Amino acid sequence: MSTTFEGIADFLSTTFEGNVDFGNTTFEGDAFFKHITFKGDTIFRHTRFEGTAFFMSATFEGIVDFVDTTFDRDAIFKFKAIKKNLNFVNIVFSQGKTLEINTLDIEDEVIVSFKKAFSEKIYLDLFLGGKTLIYFTTERIIQNMIINRKQIENHVFQEKRKKFKESEEVYLLLKNKFRNMGRYEDESWALKKEKDMERKSNCHFKSSHKWLWSCFLNVIYGYGERPWNVIVSAGILIFAFALLFSLTGIGNPEIIELTGTAIHQTSGNIVDLASKGLLKNNVIRNFPDSLYFSTITFTTLGYGDFRPLEGWGRILAGSEAFIGAFMMALFVFTFARRTGGR
**Terminal Cα distance for the chain, rounded:** 55
Summarised one tens digit per residue, pLDDT across range 203-215 is: 888 888 899 999 9
Residues 100 and 62 both lie in one domain: yes
Residue 145 has a pLDDT of 82
Domain count across the chain: 3
Residues 9 and 105 both lie in one domain: yes
CA distance 21 to 52: 20
- pLDDT tops 50 at residue 282: yes
Residues 258 and 193 both lie in one domain: no
Q: Which domain holds residue 184?
A: 161-220
CATH number of the domain at 309, please: 1.10.287.70
Residues 57 and 180 both lie in one domain: no
- pLDDT tops 50 at residue 302: yes
Backbone angles phi, psi at 2, to 5 degrees: -100, 145
- pLDDT, average across residues 211-239: 92
Residues 43 and 146 both lie in one domain: yes
Q: How do the residues of the chain divide into helix, strand and coil, expressed in percent and rounded to 5?
A: 40, 25, 35
Of 87, 98, 79, residue with least CA distance to 34: 79
Share of the chain above pLDDT 70, in %: 89
Residues 102 and 188 both lie in one domain: no
Q: Which residue has the higher pLDDT, 85 or 258?
A: 85
Residues 61 and 129 both lie in one domain: yes
Residue 207 DSSP label: G
Domain boundary among 137, 155, 173: 155
Residues 89 and 64 both lie in one domain: yes
- pLDDT tops 70 at residue 20: yes
Q: Given pLDDT bands bounded at 50, 70 and 90, which one contains residue 37?
A: very high
Residue 336 has a pLDDT of 85
Residues 46 and 123 both lie in one domain: yes
Residues 121 and 52 both lie in one domain: yes
CA distance 289 to 291: 5
Enumerate the H helices of 40-163 as residue ranges: 139-144, 149-152, 157-160
Q: 10 Å Cβ neighbour count for 56? A: 16
Residue 258 has a pLDDT of 45
Residue 250 has a pLDDT of 87
pTM for this model (two decimals): 0.76
Residues 202 and 93 both lie in one domain: no
Residue 38 has a pLDDT of 93
Residues 276 and 189 both lie in one domain: no
What is the DSSP code string of 156-203?
BHHHHTT-HHHHHHHHHHHHHHHHHTT-HHHHHHHHHHHHHHHHHHT-
How many helical (H) and strand (E) elements, i.e. helices and strands, does the chain have? 10, 26
Q: Given pLDDT bands bounded at 50, 70 and 90, which one contains residue 280?
A: very low
